[in-house]
Chain A
Amino acid sequence: MTTAIEFRDVTKCYGNVRAVDGVRLQIEAGEFFAMLGPSGSGKTTCLRLIAGFEAPDSGQILLDDNAVTALPPYERDVNTVFQDYALFPHMTVLENVAYGLRVRKVSRAEQQRRALEMLALVKLDAMAPRRPHQLSGGQRQRVSLARALINQPRVLLLDEPLGALDLKLREEMQIELKNLQRRLGITFVFVTHDQGEALSMADRIAVFDRGRIEQLDTPRGLYTRPNTAFVAKFVGGANVIEGALAQRLAGGASHDAPAFAVRAENILLGDVRNSAATDVMRCEGTIVDVQYHGAASRYQVRLSSGELLTAAAPDSIHQAHWRVDSAVSLSWSRDAVMPLQAAAASNST
């Protein structure tokens, strides 16, 4: 595999804030790559650095092994789907899609033909003569996608493209985007704050926090082996157990397990007096909140030592049994324990 995009120690500051802080990154050609993180974590800035809307303060950015750090956006073989779609309001849908060809002085007939082709690809050829404001949000999104793809870029950048859509449409677009990427074989770089979206679509995910990459892994790798407390909490909302409680639960093996994470769905709720096997960790507490989620319910449990843990269980199991203020025991298999690095250690890599 060849490298489509490479970041070499890229740093970008806004005033005193290090939006991107010494990021090193390689994105393979043909990959569906997600940049995941909370707002202000630097993921969008990274995308804008690739597109060329921002220039890094230090470090280098390479596209196909060529340094593009000093190139303006119109010299880069990269196209962007903007968060607000950024469709030109004074042009028709067809003119919007043809714009990339128009500025490259492609003949009018060719512009028309290829723009209609792209619109057919996103199933909007019937909308060609309309203006953007006459389209729905989902349609605008697809026009924006067609417009970005018409120049056949090496890399397509997507900046929270599904953020403004409603849930059903978002799920449809996720499948559509994934299919499109597979069919075209273009590298997709996808920025999102929605971990579910990143997990379901991406080949690999970079989790950003405060301008740094906390972890770069496959979706399964991130979910099953989070490196840091931040990743464990951000991706799938795992329980992070550290300090005295971790020491006590880990027992003899405490010295090499300063902190670990357990997923809510791996925690079993039980009666306090319920005995358990030796290969499980267990603790006791009181339910302080129950959230019904349909397929499963999530139980917030306050331990006697003060920590708050979340356990999830299919609704049928504990139906009407566990209520707020019930005393429960929590137990999980040692296989479900995901050891974490200390935050300081991860930041230095």
Chain B
Amino acid sequence: MSATAAAAHPAWLRRASTFLYCRPTFYVLLLLIPPLLWLGTVYIGSLFALLANSFYAIDEFTARIVYEPTLATFRQVITQPAHLDIIQRTLLMAVAVTIACAGIALPIAIYMARYASSRMKALFYVGITLPMWMSYLVKVYAWRLILAKQGILSWLLESIGFDRVLDAVLQLPGVGGPSLASSYLGMFVVFVYMWLPYMILPLAAALERVPESLLQASADLGARPRQTFWHVTLPLAVPGLAAGSIFTFSLTLGDYIIPSVVGAPGYFIGMMVYQQQGTAGNLPLAAAFSVVPIVLIMIYLSLAKRAGAFDAL
């Protein structure tokens, strides 16, 4: 055996692999250096470079950045009513989108994990990921057309006599607007559409890991389907829900394209960042605003952790 191995591989190569095999720590280090370099410098490093900017402020008169550490920009973010308004609006939308995604994804994920045949399951996976193969911008603009005043949706609702309902909904303060395409409701629909796959996939994965016998044991011990759902299925789906909601929550907090293409004129955090670092040239304010989603997600994660969402990991 060793003779054939020696013949198949040059000696220096065998010595090198023996060297690595006998030094697992060195081997792991070798494995991790390239990704750590990328993660450390390019990924985290640039993030910190951005965050560092938030501790500077802009000179009101010259519009130049003053490179002296200060908390003035942060104060600006959390004290100006207009800024708080933006944060509140974005946060509410993120929470609403996350709840809606969870509500829609859960039945689909349960079906995929429990009831679908393998053929059906494959069909669902393709169907759910299919929209992700397309350009994000194309989808957003397509939705704008669907939701427009003379668009497909209003035409469809009109033809089945539901146009009154649509008008009534659009009259509602807060969510309504002149048309679906320029209302928070329309924006909400587009957000839910965009992020739904990110909720379904981790949720279905979490539910698929739950052995069938747990559900049978629950029924066997006298639990009705509703009780099995609340006591067994849902608690075991929580890690998937947590993973999915991190996606939907953070993606909504950071997005600036959907709010600027679809929906009401109110600003969102992402749009604010885009505008401040671009047209307004106020990089410190943009950086300070980009800290807001990070803080919100950290709060969300600590709440989820306290609720035991990661106990099963």
- Of B213, B217, B219, B221, chain A has the most CB atoms within 10 Å of the CB of B221
Whether A51 lies near B220 (C-beta < 8 A) is yes
Q: Is B235 at the interface (CB under 8 A from chain A)?
A: yes
| A48 to B, closest residue via Cβ | B216
Give the interface segment out of A86-94, A194-202, A205-213, A300-308: A86-94
Interface bin, chain B = 10 to 19
Q: Is B9 at the interface (CB under 8 A from chain A)?
A: no
Task: Mark contacts of A75-97 with chain B using CB atoms, 8 A cut-off: 1 yes-contact digit, 0 otherwise.
Answer: 00011101110111110000000
Q: Is B232 at the interface (CB under 8 A from chain A)?
A: yes
Whether A100 lies near B222 (C-beta < 8 A) is yes
Q: Is B227 at the interface (CB under 8 A from chain A)?
A: yes
A82 vs B214: C-alpha distance when bound (angstroms): 9
Are A99 and B218 also in contact (CB < 8 A) when A86-B213, A89-B312, A90-B311 are? yes
Q: Is B231 at the interface (CB under 8 A from chain A)?
A: yes
A156 vs B96: C-alpha distance when bound (angstroms): 47
| A133 to B, closest residue via Cβ | B312
Task: Mark contacts of A168-208 with chain B using CB atoms, 8 A cut-off: 1 yes-contact digit, 0 otherwise.
Answer: 00000000000000000000000000000000000000000
Whether A88 lies near B220 (C-beta < 8 A) is no
Are A103 and B236 also in contact (CB < 8 A) when A82-B213, A90-B312 are? no
Whether A90 lies near B235 (C-beta < 8 A) is yes
A103 vs B215: C-alpha distance when bound (angstroms): 13
Whether B236 lies near A90 (C-beta < 8 A) is yes
Interface residues in A144-167 (C-beta closer than 8 Å to B): 147-148, 151
Chain A positions within 8 Å of B216 at CB level = 51, 53, 73, 80, 82, 86
Chain A positions within 8 Å of B220 at CB level = 51-53, 73-74, 78-80, 148
* Whole-angstrom distance between the Cβ of B242 and the nearest chain A Cβ: 13
Are A74 and B224 also in contact (CB < 8 A) when A90-B312, A103-B231 are? yes
Whether B214 lies near A74 (C-beta < 8 A) is no
Chain B positions within 8 Å of A148 at CB level = 220-221
Whether B211 lies near A86 (C-beta < 8 A) is yes
Chain A positions within 8 Å of B311 at CB level = 90
Whether A84 lies near B213 (C-beta < 8 A) is yes
A100 vs B217: C-alpha distance when bound (angstroms): 10
A74 vs B220: C-alpha distance when bound (angstroms): 5
Q: Is B153 at the interface (CB under 8 A from chain A)?
A: no
A300 vs B221: C-alpha distance when bound (angstroms): 49
Whether B214 lies near A103 (C-beta < 8 A) is no
Chain B positions within 8 Å of A314 at CB level = none
Whether B232 lies near A88 (C-beta < 8 A) is yes
Partner of A99, one of B213, B221, B312: B221
A74 vs B223: C-alpha distance when bound (angstroms): 6
Whether B231 lies near A102 (C-beta < 8 A) is yes
A88 vs B227: C-alpha distance when bound (angstroms): 14
* Whole-angstrom distance between the Cβ of B308 and the nearest chain A Cβ: 8
Chain A positions within 8 Å of B213 at CB level = 82-84, 86
A161 vs B24: C-alpha distance when bound (angstroms): 41
Chain B positions within 8 Å of A89 at CB level = 236, 312
Chain B positions within 8 Å of A90 at CB level = 235-236, 311-312
- Of A51, A53, A73, A147, chain B has the most CB atoms within 10 Å of the CB of A73
Task: Mark contacts of B265-306 with chain A using CB atoms, 8 A cut-off: 1 yes-contact digit, 0 otherwise.
Answer: 000000000000000000000000000000000000000000
Chain B positions within 8 Å of A151 at CB level = 221-222
Q: Is A72 at the interface (CB under 8 A from chain B)?
A: yes
* Whole-angstrom distance between the Cβ of A22 and the nearest chain B Cβ: 25
A73 vs B218: C-alpha distance when bound (angstroms): 9
Interface residues in B196-245 (C-beta closer than 8 Å to A): 211, 213-214, 216-224, 227, 231-232, 235-236
Interface bin, chain A = 20 to 34
Chain A positions within 8 Å of B236 at CB level = 89-90
Whether B211 lies near A104 (C-beta < 8 A) is no
* Whole-angstrom distance between the Cβ of B240 and the nearest chain A Cβ: 13
Chain B positions within 8 Å of A78 at CB level = 220
| A99 to B, closest residue via Cβ | B221
Whether B223 lies near A86 (C-beta < 8 A) is no
Partner of B222, one of A74, A83, A87: A74
A323 vs B223: C-alpha distance when bound (angstroms): 62
Task: Mark contacts of A98-124 with chain B using CB atoms, 8 A cut-off: 1 yes-contact digit, 0 otherwise.
Answer: 011011100000000000000000000
Chain B positions within 8 Å of A80 at CB level = 216-217, 220
Whether A147 lies near B221 (C-beta < 8 A) is yes
Whether A86 lies near B224 (C-beta < 8 A) is no
Whether B214 lies near A88 (C-beta < 8 A) is yes
Chain A positions within 8 Å of B231 at CB level = 88, 99, 102-103
Whether B217 lies near A103 (C-beta < 8 A) is no
* Whole-angstrom distance between the Cβ of A90 and the nearest chain B Cβ: 5
| A73 to B, closest residue via Cβ | B219
Chain A positions within 8 Å of B223 at CB level = 74, 99, 103
| A157 to B, closest residue via Cβ | B220
Whether B227 lies near A103 (C-beta < 8 A) is yes
| B210 to A, closest residue via Cβ | A89
Chain A positions within 8 Å of B219 at CB level = 52-53, 72-74
A296 vs B213: C-alpha distance when bound (angstroms): 41
Whether B217 lies near A104 (C-beta < 8 A) is no
Chain B positions within 8 Å of A102 at CB level = 231
Shortest 3 CB-CB contacts between residues of A and residues of B: A86-B213, A100-B221, A86-B217
> Could you list which residues of chain A lie within 8 angstroms of chain B, going by C-beta atoms?
51-53, 72-74, 78-80, 82-84, 86-90, 99-100, 102-104, 147-148, 151
> 30 A-B pairs, CB-CB below 8 angstroms?
A51-B216, A51-B220, A53-B220, A72-B219, A74-B219, A74-B220, A74-B222, A74-B223, A78-B220, A80-B216, A80-B217, A80-B220, A88-B231, A88-B232, A89-B312, A90-B235, A90-B312, A99-B223, A100-B221, A100-B222, A102-B231, A103-B218, A103-B221, A103-B224, A103-B231, A104-B222, A147-B217, A148-B220, A151-B221, A151-B222
Besides A72-B219, A73-B219, A84-B211, 5 more A-B contacts (Cβ < 8 Å) are A86-B211, A88-B218, A90-B236, A103-B224, A148-B221
